[in-house]
Homo-oligomer: A and B are copies of this chain.
């Protein structure tokens, strides 16, 4: 395939925002502006939808200073979209790219976005139009195949670890059962990150429920009962995607069992239903009085001020590398992260077909035999990603005083 003649690039952001997706955007823009072969850097507003609407901003006119500030700001600065383009949609995308003389297309997103890039690239090839297409990885779910991890995941994982470290301290101060529901419909990586909030042996989360394992309510209640009897309290991390053996989401099933049909459709994200339903089960069946549930919701992906510096620099680099692959390479692809040693990374360009539309889930060796904890292999995997300056928790040492009235 020939090198594109056009001197314009287009970059867009798709799917759920992350804490570092703007690092990748700015990596693309600043690196592209350094290349003599590039005259204009366009950004599409609200992802592929903005391409269809020709809703472009000229990022060449932005100051590098403001770009650096935007890079440090979470959530997609260009706006995002939930549109999942089919073939006809991708054909329209290609028509717009051709009409604007775009020679390079960069799409920052998850596995749906990589599939869009793949189809658009195929359209260009069939039309004989010189277009270089690069997918830049991004997802808090960490569910892209072919990468050690995905930009956005480490910062969200850091939020989850810090949240559980705090929830554990709160629960130790006022004992009871605490259920924290974490995002991740198919992959349990983010829920598993809760384990990195543990410091002392008796710290929570004491139980972790992942979508990679079948959830059984009776076993869950038995687990909670055992922990509560041992520690006088119990902190539980639950993935929003937990499901029964048939694949039915537990939120939907519990709602039905409890005749909560008035709820109508049970929505997984942006709703506290799963946490509330699990708490109700624990209260009713185990007769435990103090049971509290939180759904981390959008806080875990949008909270300003909780970011991994490792994630920031890697997100920046995948954007830069994407431009370098496009300018100096001779093929389309998806930028991936490969881990070297303890801890550094390299990047490589995978074929789009190797990533597009595929979903990674947690590998078995990351999950304990009990199915309700992570392994040391997972701790070793995740810890360096969380970055520097992780808060640490301390406790008073026991120095008991003898009783006087009731010795």
Could you tell me which A residues sit within 8 Å of B by CB distance? 13, 16-17, 42-43, 46, 54, 56-59, 61-62, 66, 69-70, 72-82, 95-96, 99-100, 162-163, 165-167, 169-170, 172-174, 178, 197, 258-264, 269-273, 275-276, 279-280, 291-299, 301-306, 390-401, 403-406
CA distance A260 to B277 in the complex (A): 14
Instruction: List B contacts of A391 (CB < 8 A).
Output: 304-305
B306 & A66 in contact (Cβ 8 Å cutoff): no
Closest Cβ of chain B to A282, distance in Å, is 12
Question: Which one, B61, B401, B405, contacts A58 given CB within 8 A?
Answer: B401
Q: A271-B279, A273-B276, A294-B297 are in contact. List 8 more A-B contacts (CB 8 A).
A: A43-B396, A58-B401, A66-B396, A69-B392, A79-B174, A80-B174, A163-B302, A305-B391
B16 & A174 in contact (Cβ 8 Å cutoff): yes
B273 & A167 in contact (Cβ 8 Å cutoff): no
A270 & B279 in contact (Cβ 8 Å cutoff): yes
A294 & B292 in contact (Cβ 8 Å cutoff): no
Instruction: List B contacts of A66 (CB < 8 A).
Output: 394, 396-397
Instruction: List B contacts of A258 (CB < 8 A).
Output: 262
CA distance A401 to B166 in the complex (A): 47
A82-B174, A170-B17 known; A293 vs B305 contact (CB < 8 Å): no
CA distance A295 to B276 in the complex (A): 11
Instruction: List B contacts of A78 (CB < 8 A).
Output: 396
A399 & B59 in contact (Cβ 8 Å cutoff): yes
CA distance A183 to B89 in the complex (A): 44
Instruction: List B contacts of A301 (CB < 8 A).
Output: 170
B305 & A291 in contact (Cβ 8 Å cutoff): no
A401 & B42 in contact (Cβ 8 Å cutoff): yes
- 15 inter-chain pairs at a CB distance below 8 angstroms, sorted by A residue, are A16-B174, A54-B401, A57-B399, A57-B400, A73-B394, A75-B170, A79-B174, A80-B173, A81-B174, A260-B260, A260-B263, A270-B294, A271-B276, A305-B306, A305-B390
Closest Cβ of chain B to A37, distance in Å, is 19
B304 & A399 in contact (Cβ 8 Å cutoff): no
Residue picked from A79, A172, A270, most chain B C-beta under 10 Å: A270
Minimum CB distance partner of A78 in chain B: B396
Q: Give this chain's copy count.
A: 2
Instruction: List B contacts of A100 (CB < 8 A).
Output: 401, 404
CA distance A26 to B13 in the complex (A): 48
CA distance A264 to B162 in the complex (A): 33
Closest Cβ of chain B to A291, distance in Å, is 7
CA distance A279 to B17 in the complex (A): 21
Instruction: List B contacts of A294 (CB < 8 A).
Output: 270, 295, 297-299
CA distance A58 to B398 in the complex (A): 8
Instruction: List B contacts of A58 (CB < 8 A).
Output: 399-401
Instruction: List B contacts of A395 (CB < 8 A).
Output: 70, 73, 77
Residue picked from A59, A165, A304, A406, most chain B C-beta under 10 Å: A304
B394 & A72 in contact (Cβ 8 Å cutoff): yes
CA distance A273 to B183 in the complex (A): 18
A298 & B170 in contact (Cβ 8 Å cutoff): yes
A403 & B271 in contact (Cβ 8 Å cutoff): no
Question: Which one, B17, B42, B81, B270, contacts A291 given CB within 8 A?
Answer: B270
Instruction: List B contacts of A398 (CB < 8 A).
Output: 57
A167 & B405 in contact (Cβ 8 Å cutoff): no
CA distance A306 to B396 in the complex (A): 21
B405 & A17 in contact (Cβ 8 Å cutoff): no
Instruction: List B contacts of A169 (CB < 8 A).
Output: 17, 73-75, 302, 304
Instruction: List B contacts of A404 (CB < 8 A).
Output: 54, 96, 99-100
